[in-house]
Amino acid sequence: MISNGEVSKRAGEGLYAEYNCSDVYSQKAGHRLANVIMGLELDLSFQEGGGQKRVSSLNGFQTLKPFPHMVYLPEIYHHALRFLYEGLNEERQLATCPQLPPEERLSRIEFEIYDWARVGRIRVLKIGEDFVNAMAARESEAAAGDVTVYQVWLPPASPSVGWAVESLRRRGYFPGGLLPRWFDTDGLLMQRLCHTPDWEGRYFRTAPGRFSVSFARTGREALRIASAPRQTKSGIDLAPSSLSDSGYPLHSSRWGFIILTEPLVAA
pLDDT in tens, 28-54: 777 777 788 889 999 988 877 667 788
Residue 262 has pLDDT above 70, yes or no: no
Average pLDDT over residues 204-210: 72
pLDDT at 32: 73
Q: Cα(216)–Cα(262) distance, rounded to whole angstroms?
A: 27
Alpha helices in the chain (DSSP H): 4-11, 24-32, 78-85, 131-144, 161-169, 207-227
For 158-192, the pLDDT digits (tens) are 999 999 999 999 999 999 999 998 888 999 999 99
Instruction: Supply the pTM of this predicted model.
Output: 0.80
- Taking alpha carbons only, the member of 89, 37, 13 closest to residue 254 is 13
Which helix (H) or strand (E) segment is 149 a member of?
A: strand 149-154
- What is the DSSP pairing of strand 185-193 with strand 149-154? antiparallel
The pLDDT assigned to 244 comes to 31
Exposed, middle or buried by CB within 10 Å (0-12, 13-18, 19+), for 152? buried
Specify the pLDDT at position 202.
Answer: 65
5 pLDDT above the threshold of 60: no
The string of pLDDT tens digits covering residues 212-257 is 888 898 999 888 776 655 454 444 433 333 333 323 333 333 444 3
**Burial class of 130 by CB neighbour count within 10 A (0 to 12, 13 to 18, 19+):** middle
Mean pLDDT of the residues in the chain: 78
The answer to whether residue 71 scores a pLDDT higher than 80 is yes
How much is the pLDDT for 264?
A: 34
Amino acid found at 99:
Q
Does residue 60 contact residue 36 with C-beta atoms inside 8 Å?
Answer: yes
Q: What's residue 135's pLDDT?
A: 94
Domains of the chain: 65-252 (3.40.630)
Q: State the angle between helix axes of 207-227 and 78-85 in degrees (0 to 180), rounded to the nearest 10.
A: 170
The mean pLDDT value for 123-147 works out to 93
Measured in whole angstroms, how far is the alpha carbon of residue 191 from the centre of its chain? Answer: 6
Separation between Cα atoms, residue 220 and residue 214, nearest integer Å: 10
CB proximity list for 97: less than 8 A, separation 6 or greater: 72, 73, 74, 75, 159, 161, 162
Distance from C-alpha of 200 to C-alpha of 95, rounded to nearest angstrom: 35
